[in-house]
Amino acid sequence: MNIHKIATHLNQLVAHKTGAGCSFDCTPLGGNIDVLQVNIFGREEIPIFISVSDNQIHCIAYLWGEDEIKKEQKVKMLEAMLEMNIPIPLSCFAKVDDKYVIFGKLSTNSSLEDIELEIVTLSDNSIEIISEMQFYLN
């Protein structure tokens, strides 16, 4: 599995033909590691970034930066995130540099349909998390 195969599959889907009812726009990004930026039409503000390693497919969405958190609410926000980590389907929280993210991983043996489901679920979770965490953000 590689990002080009994933991009080709997602770009050819039409919303009414997908199990998730979504259309995708995929853009390969240059760099040391091949990364695919996936936008779901109607949700362009929260792209999903995909990379493939030897045995995993990594899917990540950036949520907010450290500078967007109300300083007096940070500890409560972190506690809320820890409590939400288990019930959120197919996703976990992390921090990359000064950005908070939500991510999921799949096996490189996953089907293209499984990858599609992961992307849509991660996008759904991102929207829900941002909504739930508004109290803690500027």
**pLDDT, tens only, 71-93:** 999 999 999 999 998 889 889 99
Average pLDDT for residues 39-47, to the nearest whole number? 89
- Distance separating alpha carbons of residues 25 and 96, to the nearest angstrom: 24
pLDDT beyond 80 at 25: yes
User: Residue 17 has what pLDDT?
Assistant: 64
Residue 68 has pLDDT above 70, yes or no: yes
What is the model's pTM?
Answer: 0.92
Per DSSP, the three-state class of 96 is strand
Residue 83's domain is classified under what CATH number? 3.30.1460.10
Q: What number is the average pLDDT over the span 96-112?
A: 97
Distance CA 14, CA 72 (A): 45
Q: What is the DSSP string of 24-71?
A: EEEEEE-SSS-EEEEEETT-TTS-EEEEE-SSEEEEEEEEEEGGGB-G
Which pLDDT value is given to residue 37? 97
- Among 64, 20, 67, 59, smallest CA distance to 42 is for 20
| Structural domain count of the chain | 1
- At residue 20, the pLDDT reads 66
| Mean pLDDT of the 86-104 span | 94
* Separation CA 12–CA 48 (nearest Å): 17
* Mean pLDDT for the stretch of residues 28-38: 94
Confidence of residue 15 (pLDDT cuts 50, 70, 90): low
The whole domain housing 94 covers 3-136
What mean pLDDT do residues 93-98 have? 96
pLDDT on residue 19? 61
Task: Assign 3-state DSSP to the chain and report helix, strand, coil percentages, each to 5.
Answer: 40, 30, 30
